[in-house]
């Protein structure tokens, strides 16, 4: 069947055994060196002194030493996974050593001397994909999972790795393949004007696929926000307190993070995490230099900045701005059609009576300096993006490659629908169906090119 073939045949996996450090280099108690390939166990067995690994069952753990000749390099634990019951579907060995740069280098070069080869970036996961352990979108989710830094991005990656939308797409694609072969068959009988493929059934299948595809496409924006964070701009005239607020938001986050005993997390510049949702502040360098985003650089530039945002925090200083002026600025922002929160800062300087002047604007009163109202502001940010009660069980697409393939799929499906309803010959119909199948297959990797695979897996770290 022409649809089931890969674009280019991947060479049957050479039986080379690959090796890489699977844990991050740096401080830590233990390092894990991973091997995969036909000879993974044989090679390890040559340098391991303990039980004969060749005689041990899969999924067992063994204590022993790694030796270079008579020299003991380390005491280690070896985990055995006999293919196909492993991540890569090949024989896999994981050697847990003490985490010393010296030990790791010695063990690695010993294994390489015995016949293993240093793995390329993402090569373990590439093998898992090529050996049918997972499809392409699942392999990509492995990278996302490792990169995930919030509850939401973690959940999306986890769901995609476990099958997510690819199972659904795979089934629909198989159904479509069935129709495709019937239509191809019609081509062989083109003289006789027969229809093997029931057009009504084909049409309802295409509509079903289109619905799924469209829903996935529209989930992209939401998925993207969850994965990469909500881009936020803090706007307002000079000295309204933008950088004070930014620091209040960021510092508090850092304090919370370092409070958790034993966690060492790289603090990500200019991001905060509120109830699992990441908010990313745009152009904070500009804020810190207190460049006036409203006036100095011109309205155009301000707009460009604000347009990148999904949410704007607009700050006013009641000791400087008149109510009318504030109203004018609000009108200007409203044109952008991006949700914004109106903030009266420096509320510590206002009396209750003075606050009454601003009631019409329905602002949030805060004091960035005294850290009053910051929690309420956070709640408001969450409410504005309306993601708090997001059902993360919904399948979300977060990968730009997937959404592009889905868009191409939708265009070709629409041509198929047009073809069914209009006097279009079977060969054109067949061509459009073939295209839909091609683009659907791109997502799961049923269709893939070496370039595409290189592109995806080279972004992985070595050892993944
Ligand atoms: P930016 O130019 O908008 O970034 O403003 P800054 O954050 O640099 O703040 C300008 C001045 O306003 C500084 O002297 C801050 O200490 C002061 N400021 C900021 N927030 C508050 C506040 O809530 N209350 C008071 N009283 N002063 C504030």
Q: Flag whether 188 is in a domain.
A: yes
Q: Flag whether 451 is in a domain.
A: no
Assess whether the C-beta atom of 65 lies below 6 angstroms from ligand 1: no
The two tokens of residue 462 are: 């070595």
Q: Of the candidates 82, 112, 135, which is a domain's last residue?
A: 135
Q: Of the candidates 385, 414, 434, which is a domain's last residue?
A: 385
Report the separation in Å between the CA atom of 244 and the middle of ligand 1, taken as the mean of its atom positions.
Answer: 6
Q: How far apart are CA 271 and CA 278, in angstroms?
A: 7
The pLDDT score that the predictor gives to residue 284 is 62
Q: How far apart are CA 405 and CA 213, in angstroms?
A: 10
- Per DSSP, the three-state class of 399 is coil
Cβ contacts of 436 within 8 Å, gap of 6 or more: 176, 209, 409, 412, 413, 416
Q: Are residues 233 and 219 in the same domain?
A: no
Report the separation in Å between the CA atom of 237 and the middle of ligand 1, taken as the mean of its atom positions.
Answer: 11
Q: Are residues 18 and 122 in the same domain?
A: yes
Assess whether the C-beta atom of 237 lies below 6 angstroms from ligand 1: no
Assess whether the C-beta atom of 244 lies below 6 angstroms from ligand 1: yes
Q: Which atom of ligand 1 is nearest to the CA of 287?
A: 4
Q: Are residues 347 and 234 in the same domain?
A: yes
Q: Are residues 308 and 374 in the same domain?
A: yes
Cβ contacts of 45 within 8 Å, gap of 6 or more: 52, 53, 54
Nearest to 209, CA basis, from 423, 417, 418, 426 = 417
Assess whether the C-beta atom of 242 lies below 6 angstroms from ligand 1: yes
Q: How far apart are CA 246 and CA 240, in angstroms?
A: 12
Q: Are residues 38 and 117 in the same domain?
A: yes
Q: Flag whether 192 is in a domain.
A: yes
CATH number for position 193: 1.20.120.430
Q: Flag whether 217 is in a domain.
A: yes
- For the CA atoms of 382, 384, 386, 388, the dihedral, rounded to the nearest 10 degrees, stands at 10
Parent domain of 409: 145-223+399-445
Q: Are residues 253 and 372 in the same domain?
A: yes
The pLDDT score that the predictor gives to residue 339 is 87
End-to-end CA distance of the chain: 33
Nearest residue by C-alpha to atom 10 in ligand 1: 239
Q: Are residues 235 and 362 in the same domain?
A: yes
Q: Which atom of ligand 1 is nearest to the CA of 247?
A: 7
Report the separation in Å between the CA atom of 294 and the middle of ligand 1, taken as the mean of its atom positions.
Answer: 16
Q: Are residues 130 and 151 in the same domain?
A: no
Q: Are residues 7 and 131 in the same domain?
A: yes
Mutate which of 240, 243, 244, 372 for ligand 1? The one with the most ligand atoms within 8 Å of its CB, which is 244
Element (H, E) at 202: helix 199-228
Q: Are residues 66 and 154 in the same domain?
A: no
Q: Flag whether 274 is in a domain.
A: yes
Mutate which of 241, 248, 286 for ligand 1? The one with the most ligand atoms within 8 Å of its CB, which is 241
Cβ contacts of 397 within 8 Å, gap of 6 or more: 165, 216, 217, 219, 220, 223, 403, 406
Q: Which atom of ligand 1 is nearest to the CA of 349?
A: 26
Assess whether the C-beta atom of 290 lies below 6 angstroms from ligand 1: yes
Q: Flag whether 292 is in a domain.
A: yes
CATH number for position 305: 3.40.50.300
The count of other CB atoms within 10 Å of the CB of residue 120 is 15
What is the DSSP pairing of strand 60-68 with strand 230-235?
unpaired
Q: Of the candidates 135, 159, 174, which is a domain's last residue?
A: 135
Q: Which atom of ligand 1 is nearest to the CA of 292?
A: 2
Q: Flag whether 337 is in a domain.
A: yes
Q: Are residues 245 and 349 in the same domain?
A: yes
Alpha-helical runs (H) found in 260-399: 284-288, 298-307, 323-334, 352-355, 374-385
Cβ contacts of 249 within 8 Å, gap of 6 or more: 272, 281, 374, 377, 378
Q: Which atom of ligand 1 is nearest to the CA of 370?
A: 23
Q: How far apart are CA 430 and CA 435, in angstroms?
A: 9
Q: How far apart are CA 38 and CA 177, in angstroms?
A: 35
Cα→Cα distances 385→84, 221, 312, 339, Å: 45, 12, 11, 8
Q: Flag whether 64 is in a domain.
A: yes
What is the DSSP pairing of strand 18-21 with strand 30-36?
antiparallel
- How many separate domains does the chain show? 3
The pLDDT score that the predictor gives to residue 269 is 55
Q: How far apart are CA 211 and CA 213, in angstroms?
A: 5
Assess whether the C-beta atom of 368 lies below 6 angstroms from ligand 1: yes
CATH number for position 82: 3.30.1360.120
Assess whether the C-beta atom of 239 lies below 6 angstroms from ligand 1: yes
**10-residue mean pLDDT series, the chain (464 residues):** 38 73 87 96 97 96 96 97 94 96 94 94 90 87 85 82 82 88 79 75 91 86 76 86 87 47 44 84 62 49 76 91 87 86 93 87 92 92 68 71 91 92 84 91 82 79 76
Assess whether the C-beta atom of 287 lies below 6 angstroms from ligand 1: yes
Q: Residues, the chain, total?
A: 464
Q: Are residues 381 and 430 in the same domain?
A: no
């Amino acid at each position: 069947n022409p649809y089931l073939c890969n674009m280019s045949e991947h060479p049957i996996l050479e039986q080379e055994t690959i090796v890489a450090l699977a844990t991050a280099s740096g401080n830590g108690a233990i390092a894990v060196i991973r091997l995969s390939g036909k000879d993974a166990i044989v090679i390890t067995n040559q340098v391991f002194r303990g039980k004969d690994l060749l005689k041990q069952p899969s999924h067992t753990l063994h204590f022993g030493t790694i030796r270079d000749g008579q020299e003991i390099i380390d005491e280690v634990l070896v985990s055995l996974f006999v293919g196909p019951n492993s991540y890569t579907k090949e024989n896999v060995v994981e050697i847990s050593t003490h985490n010393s740069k010296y030990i790791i280098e010695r063990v690695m070069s010993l294994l390489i001397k015995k016949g293993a080869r240093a793995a390329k970036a993402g090569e373990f996961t590439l093998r898992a994909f090529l050996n049918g352990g997972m499809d392409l979108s699942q392999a990509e989710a492995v990278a996302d999972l490792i990169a995930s830094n919030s509850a939401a991005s973690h959940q999306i990656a986890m769901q995609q790795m476990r099958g997510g939308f690819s199972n659904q797409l795979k089934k629909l694609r198989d159904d479509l393949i069935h129709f495709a072969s019937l239509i191809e068959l019609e081509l062989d009988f083109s003289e006789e004007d027969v229809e093997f493929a029931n057009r009504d059934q084909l049409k309802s299948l295409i509509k079903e696929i289109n619905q799924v595809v469209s829903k996935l496409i529209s989930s992209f924006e939401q998925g993207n926000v969850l994965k990469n964070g909500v881009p936020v701009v803090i706007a307002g005239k000079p000295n309204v307190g933008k950088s004070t607020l930014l620091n209040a938001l960021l510092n508090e986050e850092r304090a919370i993070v370092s409070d958790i005993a034993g966690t060492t997390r790289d603090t990500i510049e200019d991001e905060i995490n509120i109830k699992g949702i990441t908010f990313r502040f745009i152009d904070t360098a500009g804020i810190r230099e207190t460049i006036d985003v409203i006036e100095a650089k011109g309205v155009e530039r301000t707009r460009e900045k604000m347009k990148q945002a999904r949410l704007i925090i607009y700050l006013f200083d009641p000791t400087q701005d008149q109510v009318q002026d504030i109203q004018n600025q609000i009108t200007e922002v409203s044109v952008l059609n991006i949700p914004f929160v109106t903030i009266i800062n420096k509320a510590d300087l206002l009396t209750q009576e003075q606050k009454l002047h601003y009631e019409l604007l329905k602002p949030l009163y805060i004091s960035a300096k005294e850290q009053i109202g910051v929690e309420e502001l956070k709640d408001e940010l969450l409410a504005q993006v309306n993601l708090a009660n997001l059902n993360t069980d919904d399948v979300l697409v977060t990968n730009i490659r997937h959404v592009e393939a889905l868009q191409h799929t939708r265009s070709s499906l629409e041509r198929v629908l047009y073809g069914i309803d209009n006097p279009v010959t079977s060969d054109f119909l067949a061509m459009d169906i073939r295209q839909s199948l091609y683009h659907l297959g791109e997502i799961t990797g049923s269709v893939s090119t070496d370039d595409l695979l290189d592109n995806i897996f080279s972004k992985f770290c070595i050892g993944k």
